[in-house]
Structure 1
Amino acid sequence: MKTAYVHDWLAGGYAGAEKVLEQMLDVLPGTPVYTMVHEPRDFIGTPLEHADVRASLIQKLPMGRQKYRAYLPLMPFAVEQFDLTAFDVIVSSSYAVAKGVLVSGEQLHLSYVHSPVRYAWDLYQQYLREANLTAGAKAALAKLALHYLRLWDLGTANRVDVYVANSEYVARRIWRTYRRPARVLYPPVEVKRFDPSLPRENFYLTMSRFVPYKKLDLIVRTFSQLDKPLVVIGSGPDFEKVRALAGTSVTFLGRQPDEVVADHMNRCRAFVFAADEDFGIVSVEAQAAGAPVIAYGRGGSLETVVHGVTGLHFQNQTVEDLAAAVLDFERSSTHFSAAAIRRHAERFSTERFKRQYREILDTAVAARRAGQDPERAVLALPTWS
């Protein structure tokens, strides 16, 4: 059956959602990808470099590829302009508007949801505070735009036949937001590119985009206060702001290629993860390298980091709680086994993802062909080990 992928945007870097899309394309090579905007330079040297990408009307607007987030109020309209009538199956990879694509009654729409739109739902108030949009005319316009985005997002919930969530945490949020059940399929992690056998060295590691909810400022302030060595990999709009908080024990490497990231994960004493994430691929990558993870004990981390076995959880996003967790880790660090941590990470391998994704897709298609409910068929699949 002819299939099309719909992805929110392919700009701003190669992150977790793009790694999921890469593996989906590996299952169905040559499938076209419809997206809001496409910045090819951001994907040079990645598996998505040669993908068949078809961008929306936002691509042609002034600064569309660079300032695409400013066009968020236009995105619901833009995603509905994709002509997908030639396809039998639509698979959306959605954390913003992709799930709202228009489909006909004869088409099957499976949506892999990384998250319901966080800045319109769960992070609404936090987004307004961090963007300094709590008062004034500009704030009123932003609140109105997000209000209508919520109405549109909720109104498009039944355009999806089958929801697939990237974690139990997201599945619960899909139910709360859309009142629809979702099958959980954990994102893929390239476990084989890491080597857990290397000796661990005396530095901690964190890696992320420099945006507020990732809480890199919290990690940097904590390690500066403790005067313990921390290496920070990543880039983003808050880079200079976070670097200004750092003491002499913190080293910033900026954005690095995969081989440099893997090398640091293979050697770090522990990986530090302070965000309330839907899943958090980077923390599982660290575990694939045999590194214990000190993680904020909420969201996807509760499913990916086993407290006392593959790392430690801290309960509040404060310097005091993170510092206490670091000191607790140092008292117990000899209890962690790199081999056991790696075995845990192998539950999230790319091979496992592709096998389970193919099973979900084939089950949904077979149910539709048989005149049955594809959602019910997918939810009835046996639990994966």
Structure 2
Amino acid sequence: MALENVTHAQHSCRPFPPTGHIRMTTQVPRRVAIIHDWLVTYAGAERVLEQMLQCYPEADLFSLVDFLLPDHRDFIGNRPVTTSFIQRLPRAQKKYRSYLPLMPLAIEQFDLSAYDLVLSSSHAVAKGVLTGPDQLHLSYVHSPIRYAWDLQHQYLWEAGLVRGPKSWVARIILHYVRLWDSRTPNGVNTFIANSRFVARRIHKAYRREATLIAPPVDVSHFALRSAKEDFYVTASRMVPYKKMDLIVSAFTAMPDKRLVVIGDGPDFEKVRSKAGPNVTLLGFTGTEILRDHLQRGRAFVFAAEEDFGIAPLEAQACGTPVIAYGKGGVRETIVPLAETEDAAPSLAPTGVFFDEQSEAAIIAAVERFEREGTTITPNACRENALRFTPERFRSEFTDLVEREWRIFQEKSRHRDAQHI
């Protein structure tokens, strides 16, 4: 099912149909502010921010911290960034996440009173900026704060904070953050979700509907290659929730199948300790090496529960099928093989799902792919990925913002007329 065809009754989100053009300005002069949580790298949330800035190049940019290197600032147009007091705190460049208890206070100190239109890109606290009744605030939510809401217990376990004094301190802090975060929807006029999965999480946490606009995927940098080689590939930062160790363990148990692993992170040694001779770990690589393996690989393996998941779409842009854990955003970006013979999908299949994060489930999915995967074609994978281009994102995002701006102005004029 195409993302824009989702109904509110099914998913508690308001679909916004794409159009073929972009309206970049309106007749009414206005000042625009864009707020992002933190600027330390170029990842999925920053790709959305990059496109937002292209839609509104006149906007001023705010962020809790800005530690981007001088040669990594192209995606924000090398513009100046207004930062919070956290920028100047000790060891903030390396330990900015440790200042989570101060982030609600910090985001509220940004004085946005001079701006008419406020756009936030938020996976933590950016949507909590203070705005007034004469300001329109649209918030693109990558996710409600994961570690404060439904994933709190998972994060505490992964951080080794299950019991003891430090655990209680962490739980108290997260309780405080959750209470504060419950207040933030009051300052947002319109929520935007990056997937139906996140729209459901927004509705659960905030009791608000969200318009669905999938994030941009730069498929132009991942060209189609139809000829595949006899190896599987996975790529991710090696942190616990990515489950890279499960993928490696599963392939170690299948010595007749080759796996190439790309990525680095805190779990690298743990992953390497589980790798058999049929598993090759390349560590961190540049984009060209990653792209080359995505193009040549027989299939891309993905075991994380993600809010959206860009890597599986980059693989599909290369014409490569995906074997993925079938929960979260991937259910909206991968067309699975039919579960039964008489349940053919409306779109051509592009991958295989497994239903639990376990070695056995991954092995079963790989075996099914090798039995039935011939029905998945490189062209079908590529066509599916083309539904998520940056051009599509800019068109949908700008049209939504301009529509909400016109409605907001009309309501303001009506209220003013009533008081004359």
Question: Which TM class, normalised by the smaller chain length?
Answer: over 0.9
TM-score, normalised to structure 2, is 0.85
Say whether residues 1:115 and 2:115 are aligned partners.
no
CA distance change for structure 1 residues 193 and 222 in 2, over 3 Å: closer, same or farther?
Answer: same
Q: Structure 1 unaligned segments of length 5 or more: list them.
A: 374-385
Q: What letter matches 1:73 in structure 2? A: P
CA-CA distance at 1:332 after TM superposition: 2.1
CA contact (8 A) 1:103 1:159 kept: yes
CA contact (8 A) 2:225 2:296 kept: no
CA distance change for structure 1 residues 248 and 54 in 2, over 3 Å: closer, same or farther?
Answer: farther
Q: Which residue of 2 aligns with 1:275?
A: 304
Q: Which residue of 2 aligns with 1:83?
A: 111
Q: From 23, 31, 34, give the equivalent of 2:51.
A: 23
Alignment map for 1:87-236 (pairs within 5 Å) = 87-227=115-255, 228-236=257-265
CA distance in 2, matches of 1:361, 1:355: 10
CA distance change for structure 1 residues 157 and 142 in 2, over 3 Å: closer, same or farther?
Answer: same
CA distance in 1, matches of 2:351, 2:145: 29
Say whether residues 1:299 and 2:328 are aligned partners.
yes
Q: Which residue of 2 aligns with 1:364?
A: 404
Q: What letter matches 1:281 in structure 2? A: I
Say whether residues 1:240 and 2:274 are aligned partners.
no
TM-score, normalised to structure 1, is 0.93
CA distance change for structure 1 residues 208 and 288 in 2, over 3 Å: closer, same or farther?
Answer: same
Task: Tell me the C-alpha RMSD between the 2 structures.
Answer: 1.7
Q: Relative to structure 2, which stretch is displaced further, 219-228 or 141-150?
A: 219-228
After the TM superposition, which parts of structure 1 deviate over 4 Å for at least 4 consecutive aligned residues? Answer: none
CA distance in 1, matches of 2:369, 2:397: 36
CA contact (8 A) 1:30 1:51 kept: no
CA distance in 1, matches of 2:65, 2:38: 5
CA-CA distance at 1:43 after TM superposition: 6.3
Q: Which residue of 1 aligns with 2:365?
A: 325
CA distance in 2, matches of 1:142, 1:237: 21
CA contact (8 A) 2:123 2:143 kept: yes
Over the matched positions of the two proteins, sequence identity in percent amounts to 51
Alignment length, in residue pairs? 372
CA-CA distance at 1:234 after TM superposition: 2.1
Greater Cα radius of gyration, structure 1 or 2: 2
CA contact (8 A) 1:8 1:94 kept: yes
Say whether residues 1:290 and 2:330 are aligned partners.
no
Q: What letter matches 2:356 in structure 1? A: N
Q: What letter matches 2:165 in structure 1? A: A
Deviations 1:242-291 (A, max 9, x none): 22222222222223332322222111111111111111011111111111
Q: From 307, 310, 314, give the equivalent of 2:350.
A: 310
Q: What letter matches 1:153 in structure 2? A: D
CA contact (8 A) 1:212 1:238 kept: yes
Deviations 1:199-253 (A, max 9, x none): 1112211121221111111111111221222222222222222222222222222
Q: Which residue of 1 aligns with 2:98?
A: 70
The structure whose RCO (Cα within 8 Å, separation 6+) is larger is 2
